[in-house]
Amino acid sequence: SSAPAPIIATLFPGDGIGPEIAESVKQVFQAAEVPIEWEEHYVGDQIDPRTQSFLTWESLESVRRNRVGLKGPMATPVGKGHRSLNLTLRKELNLYANVRPCYSLPGYKTRYDNVNLITIRENTEGEYSGLEHQVVRGVVESLKIITRQASLRVAEYAFHYAKTHGRERVSAIHKANIMQKTDGLFLKCCREVAEKYPEITYEEVVIDNCCMMDNLLLEKMEVSFLIFVSHAQLVKNPALFDVLVMPNLYGDIISDLCAGLVGGLGLTPSCNIGEAGIALAEAVHGSAPDIAGKNLANPTALLLSAVTMLRHLELYDKAERIQDAILNTIAEGKYRTADLGGSSSTTDFTKAICGHL
């Protein structure tokens, strides 16, 4: 088959360990002959008035133009008068869905070995409205905003994702027993979309029940045990969730909780989906300034995020090949970075992955 035309993608290497792990991605992509050309952008050293943050307008324009990008960790500079880098990206690029696949890595042992789920988080509203004020001295309030438009949009994304990725169940996570109007509207929208996908099972799970994950993941679960938890959990296969969709704050919490089950944010990918087909993949761990520049960082989260970007571009073959190479390298155990109990450098780990391609 002839080589596809090269795709231009924006790359934000980010701060701290960012440049090293971004370098790892570049090498792996090169070794796998991924037809991507990177357009690199760094966080500026002063506030750009057009973005009200240290992100430059040019870097946002680059993502808007290329429609696809990869982002390393960015430490938001301390100080007043500017917006957080993450929140600026979400707002300016209208990144409405944050997608995080979360699965047990073969050969990397945690307390769980059967995790395989996807969290899909509404990424623009809810508790992240930024609307807060003091009512009287000593009394403050924050507004949680839920809209029909944003709820339908993320629900549609979740069901479409489930259908196109061979997933069987979508669970909407909520607290509508307390927030009847806001979470109630979110559920109403999910139900509307669910009707269009009769082949996907739809269920609703209250967030506090959902977070008793340890129960849900027990492989041999006594049915009588379930009597103490809510009916919503009485799913056919209680061992696993499949696709979870939820408002912003619950997504923030549950995606980290799930990452914790399989080894933490250093291992789990993330991708933000925006309107007009934008996809900005990102490693959501910190920039780890203490080990920056020491060739010690683990590039796995950024590499697997880059893989989600390839899937978004429908470069499925490349995505599979690279993901297999990463997972096989970790499973083999010969080359592992320090956070996984090994002693490999970032570059040796990267070379080992390239060797598996």
Ligand X SMILES: CC(C)[C@H](C(=O)O)[C@@H](O)C(=O)O
Q: Taking CB under 8 A as the criterion, which residues in 18-57 touch its own copies? A: none
DSSP bridge partners of 68: 279
Q: Which residues, 6 or more positions from 269, have their beta carbon under 8 angstroms from its beta carbon?
A: 100, 101, 281, 283, 301, 304, 305, 307, 308
Q: What is the enclosing helix (H) or strand (E) of 10?
A: strand 7-12
Establish if 122 lies at the interface with ligand X (CB under 6 A). Answer: no
Cβ distance to ligand X smaller for residue 305 or 329: 305
| Least gap, CB of 66 to ligand X (angstroms) | 22
Tell me which DSSP letter residue 53 carries: B
- Only one residue has tokens 């509307």, namely 192
The amino acid that residue 86 corresponds to is N
Determine which residue in the list 116, 142, 149, 177 makes contact with ligand X, applying CB under 6 A: 177
Site for ligand X in 186-215 (CB under 6 A): 208
Establish if 346 lies at the interface with ligand X (CB under 6 A). Answer: no
Q: Which residues, 6 or more positions from 248, have their beta carbon under 8 angstroms from its beta carbon?
A: 121, 122, 123, 124, 125, 126, 127, 128
Cβ distance to its own copies smaller for residue 22 or 32: 22
| Least gap, CB of 146 to its own copies (angstroms) | 5
Site for ligand X in 86-115 (CB under 6 A): 86
Whole-angstrom distance, CA of residue 205 vs CA of residue 216: 12
- Only one residue has tokens 């992100």, namely 55
Whole-angstrom distance, CA of residue 269 vs CA of residue 254: 14
Determine which residue in the list 77, 339, 347, 357 makes contact with its own copies, applying CB under 8 A: 339
| Least gap, CB of 155 to its own copies (angstroms) | 14
| Least gap, CB of 78 to its own copies (angstroms) | 12
Site for its own copies in 269-328 (CB under 8 A): 285-286, 288, 290-291, 296-298, 301
Using the Cα atoms of residue 120, residue 94, residue 186 and residue 182 in order, give the sign of their dihedral: positive
Establish if 180 lies at the interface with ligand X (CB under 6 A). Answer: no
The encoded tokens of residue 297 equal 């960082």
Draw the binding track, 241-280, toward its own copies (x: CB under 8 A; -: no contact).
Answer: --------x--xxxxxx-xxx--xxx--------------
Cβ distance to ligand X smaller for residue 209 or 347: 209
Alpha carbon distances (Å) from 35 to 40, 128, 313: 16, 37, 11
Max CA distance (Å), the chain: 69
Draw the binding track, 194-213, toward its own copies (x: CB under 8 A; -: no contact).
Answer: -------------xxx-xxx
Site for ligand X in 259-318 (CB under 6 A): 284
Establish if 178 lies at the interface with ligand X (CB under 6 A). Answer: yes
Determine which residue in the list 228, 236, 277, 314 makes contact with its own copies, applying CB under 8 A: 228
The encoded tokens of residue 252 equal 């923030």
- Only one residue has tokens 């500026």, namely 44
Contacts with ligand X, residue ranges (CB under 6 A): 84, 86, 177-178, 208, 252, 284
